[in-house]
Structure 1
Amino acid sequence: MKTIGFIPLRAGSKGIPGKNKKKMLGRPLFCWSLGAAIASQLDEVYVYTDDLDILDFVKREYHWTDKIKAVKRLSSNATDTASTESAMIDFIRDEDPDFDIICLLQATSPFTTAVDINACLQEIKNGKHSAMTVVNTHRFIWSSNGEPQNYDVFNRPRRQDFEGLLIENGAVYVTVKEKWFETKNRVSGEIGLVHMHEDSLTEIDSKSDWDVVELLLSRKLKENKQTQPITHLVLDVDGVFTDGCVYYNSQGELMKKFDMRDGMGLEILRQNEVEVMVMTSEDSDIVASRMKKLKIENTYLGVKDKYSLLSRIASDKEIAFSNIAYVGDDVNDLANICAAGWSFTPHNATREVKSHADITLSNDSASGAIREVCEFIMRYNNRF
């Protein structure tokens, strides 16, 4: 059965302007759901949006996978009053995608993982017509006229004895083709339920909501860290290899500063079977030339969504994030900083990155910071 994902996005957002592309832990918000979709068992994923910046970003950024397709959303269903189902109707009518199962993913649900998506797909394989994600909440619910809805007010249960209520968290909805065309609804027929963590119930409607979700998301990534030997070192470039400065002339980029001691440290590290990779948002000929000189074959230039790429690399190489050490200095490194088994940041990095990194180095970038990381890894791996 062919399974497709569908991520509808609107350019307009009143509560948080530009919410879908605003960076959460250094990634545009919609990239969290999109990255999960890429890693899932979905065959294709459609990003359906009227935001030209997002369309361009998706086409440019995800060239390394043939799963993702960006489609221009009709302005008529990108209004504040347009329903998600209306967007699905227009998309299926106009694009006529080949599918047996369609999976609706909400961009404002950054806690969604490939595991959650696959679990919903499994419900279909188990015989359900549809499936969706829910959260078990232990809140006591009341009606507007002052009547308790889910408990006896004279027999108040303890949390550990209270079953609570299942609430949609709006993250993932899956339905088979036949039921979609029968009902034009995201779920219908026999519906399977997939439980997600209670954190995923938090809605992002205000700046304070955003701050709370970002904090919870960073904690979630960090909780998965385990003590493992470091087999791979992944490095940002500007602000890690270099001092963060770029020198230009009338022809463009002219010069960057690198530290020769860093190169020797990386050579020693490779001799001890630690694979070195470079991942940078800049597409620089100078960087490409320097990495060639250092014999770092796995150099990824022009990467904006570093977490998605690192997730794919980890999957392809069959390694855990706990086997990865990551060095970054700015907000676009935050997701990898939180997720990697060990994360480092130079002494002159941004304050926000320092607050999340495992270790703030004593050396500045381009002044021995990478060499310091190499020496740490050598000492750390000796434990194993």
Structure 2
Amino acid sequence: MSNPMSRPSYPDSVIAKAQKIKLVICDVDGVLSNGQVIIGNDGEELKTFNIKDGFGIKCLQKSGIAVAIITGRNSKIVEKRCQELGIEHYHQGQSNKQKAFESLCEKLSVTPEQVCHIGDDLPDLPLLIQVGLGVTVADGHWLMQQHADWVTQHNGGFGAVREVCDLILESQNKLEAIHQEYLAAGKLSEVKE
């Protein structure tokens, strides 16, 4: 049995950057998934996604923070996951992620300072350096960790994105309202019983 995580504390410099975020951009392999690609006999590509990450993304969206995907690979399963999560802006097959990044900033009227990028490896480094809040996962490449504003405690595909969602929501004073909503729902069910 693992120890439950305590409520995290964040450096003031990270909170200051997270307070400005209006758009979160995620890589897929190694961030939303664990980086493993399983190819079935029929050539279909399979990936695993963490439900906690998905819930965190939904919380961001509900709180008015946009979420987008920029990934180097093409995969039908990524398109399906984006549709499940209501992520309208996803760019696949982006060997150079800069163009998609600039397009998103223009389309959503955000500045690089208002963007958080979560990546794990060198193709993500250019975006990590230029955004307002650059984040890498616990098992991200060492150069990513060296240049990131913040490194998650969890590995990619195992709740790292949820950590970032909570960080941003907490810094913008939106997390407590989400917690209270679920606490109140629990108390209502207690009353009914």
Aligned position for 1:75: none
Q: TM-score, normalised by structure 1?
A: 0.40
Aligned position for 2:177: none
Cα pair 1:265 1:370 within 8 Å, conserved:
yes
Cα pair 1:325 1:341 within 8 Å, conserved:
yes
Aligned position for 2:4: none
Distance in 2 between residues matched to 1:269 and 1:365, nearest whole Å? 18
1:302 aligns with 2:93: yes
Aligned position for 2:128: 337
Closer/same/farther in 2, CA of residues 374 and 278 from structure 1, 3 Å limit: same
2:101 is matched by which residue type in structure 1? L
Name the structure with the higher helix share: 2
Distance in 2 between residues matched to 1:319 and 1:234, nearest whole Å? 12
Q: CA RMSD in A?
A: 1.8
- What is the SS of the residue equivalent to 1:258? coil
Aligned position for 1:351: 142
- What is the SS of the residue equivalent to 2:31? coil
Closer/same/farther in 2, CA of residues 375 and 254 from structure 1, 3 Å limit: same
Large movers: runs of 4+ above 6 Å: none
Aligned position for 2:62: 271
Closer/same/farther in 2, CA of residues 227 and 347 from structure 1, 3 Å limit: closer
CA apart distance, 1:299: 1.1
- Between the aligned residues of both structures, percent identity stands at 29
Cα pair 2:18 2:133 within 8 Å, conserved:
no
CA apart distance, 1:242: 0.4
The runs of 5 or more residues in structure 2 that have no matched partner are: 1-16, 175-193
Cα pair 2:45 2:75 within 8 Å, conserved:
no
CA apart distance, 1:252: 1.7
Q: Any idea what the Cα deviations from partners look like across 1:205-237, whole Å, max 9, x if unmatched? A: xxxxxxxxxxxxxxxxxxxxx786111110000
1:370 is matched by which residue type in structure 2? V
> Which of 1 and 2 has higher RCO (CA within 8 Å, sep 6+)?
2
Q: Any idea what the Cα deviations from partners look like across 1:247-266, whole Å, max 9, x if unmatched? A: 11232243211100111111
Name the structure with the higher strand share: 1
Aligned position for 1:379: 170
- Residue in structure 2 matching 1:229, options 20, 29, 32: 20
Distance in 1 between residues matched to 2:79 and 2:94, nearest whole Å? 13
1:262 aligns with 2:53: yes
Q: Which is greater in Rg? A: 1
CA apart distance, 1:267: 0.7
Closer/same/farther in 2, CA of residues 253 and 348 from structure 1, 3 Å limit: farther
Aligned position for 2:35: 244
